[in-house]
């Protein structure tokens, strides 16, 4: 899908671009969402850039993600997006290309911050009426979304902490432990992806800020500096959440060990309780010819009583010592 925007009084104006028609010259931002070859060709005809494919975006080396080519500045970075409500967010790579006075974004997913940015700035002016101002606004929304995920993770960890530490050990069974571990796993996965996105945006800023600030006005330069501060602040927060996650995970695994030891202790005690009765049963089960007990009238009841007492006395002793 190809969507083009112009700036009118600093606000975004969506341009009507029909399939196969050229993009109007006054377009400042061209957004390519999973573009078809025909849509890519239309964008190339206006901007004279190479449109990255999905495979082109899936690279790890900074030199392949941040570069200049043919007079255009290519900035590729990683952002969070959620394909379905209620599921762990995923990451997707996005390219922002500056060609002259235009910004071209190429993406193969639909991150919510882009929709939120467009909706907001169709009514409110951007930081500046330029392609860099649009890019700054997009970065602000991406960072805000990452911050929301990190904050949600922190709230989830506090909820798990209250659930774990304000409950008696014997009330924390296998089902509860499994549920908590699942929630911790999802929180850890989201936090790791958020930190990956922050690192990607930080590399982008280190590469491009000086170059972009040189061609922008003072409000945009101030916005760039604010974004760098936001990246550092959210990164510190994500690192704190990662430490808290490790602490809670260790505590939960400790509880799992305690629960396991408690179960093993019960089995050990039960086995111990049956050792004395087994001894007496084995003793009287020997078929010797000369066993006085075999001729006792009350031999059988006495044997049963002896086995019962031999199990009861160790149990009472364990209770007295506080082992049970």
Domains plus CATH for the chain?
A: 2-260 (3.30.460.20), 274-321 (no CATH)
Angle between helical axes of 299-321 and 275-284 (0-180°, round to 10) = 160
Q: What pLDDT was estimated at residue 213?
A: 63
Read off the pLDDT of residues 44-98 as tens digits, 9 standing for 90 and up: 777 777 787 777 777 666 567 777 777 888 888 888 887 555 677 888 888 888 8
By the 8 A CB rule, do 189 and 88 touch? yes
pTM of the entire structure?
0.75
Read off the pLDDT of residues 128-159 as tens digits, 9 standing for 90 and up: 667 788 888 888 889 989 988 888 888 888 88
Structure tokens of 199?
């690192």
The residue written with tokens 């970065």 in the block is 139
By the 8 A CB rule, do 122 and 14 touch? yes
């Amino acid at each position: 899908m190809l969507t083009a925007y112009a700036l009118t009084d600093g606000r975004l104006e969506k341009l009507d671009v029909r399939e196969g028609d050229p993009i109007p010259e006054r377009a400042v931002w061209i957004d390519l969402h999973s573009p078809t070859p025909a849509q890519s060709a239309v964008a190339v005809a206006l901007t004279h850039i190479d449109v990255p494919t999905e495979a082109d975006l899936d690279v790890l080396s900074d030199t392949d993600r941040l570069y200049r080519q043919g007079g255009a500045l290519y900035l590729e970075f990683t952002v969070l997006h959620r394909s379905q409500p209620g599921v762990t967010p995923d990451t997707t790579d996005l390219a922002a290309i500056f060609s002259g006075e235009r910004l071209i974004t190429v993406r193969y997913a639909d991150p919510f911050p882009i929709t939120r940015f467009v909706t907001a700035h169709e009514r409110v002016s951007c930081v500046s009426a330029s392609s860099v101002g649009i890019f700054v606004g997009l970065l602000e929304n991406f960072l805000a979304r990452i911050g929301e995920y990190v904050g949600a993770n922190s709230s989830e960890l506090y909820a798990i902490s209250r659930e774990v530490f304000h409950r008696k050990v014997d009330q924390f069974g296998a089902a509860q432990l499994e549920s908590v571990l699942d929630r911790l796993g999802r929180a850890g996965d989201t936090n790791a992806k958020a930190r990956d996105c922050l690192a990607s945006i930080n590399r982008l800023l280190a590469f491009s800020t000086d170059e972009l600030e040189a061609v922008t006005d003072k409000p945009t330069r101030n916005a760039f500096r604010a974004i760098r501060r936001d990246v550092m602040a959210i990164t510190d927060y994500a690192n704190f959440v990662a430490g808290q996650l490790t602490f809670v995970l260790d505590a939960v695994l400790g509880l799992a060990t305690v629960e396991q030891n408690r179960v093993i202790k019960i089995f050990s005690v039960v086995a111990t309780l049956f050792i004395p009765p087994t001894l007496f049963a084995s003793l009287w089960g020997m078929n010797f010819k000369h066993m006085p007990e075999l001729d006792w009238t009350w031999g059988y009841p006495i044997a049963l009583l002896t086995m019962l007492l031999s199990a009861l006395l160790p149990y009472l002793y364990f209770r007295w010592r506080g082992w049970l």
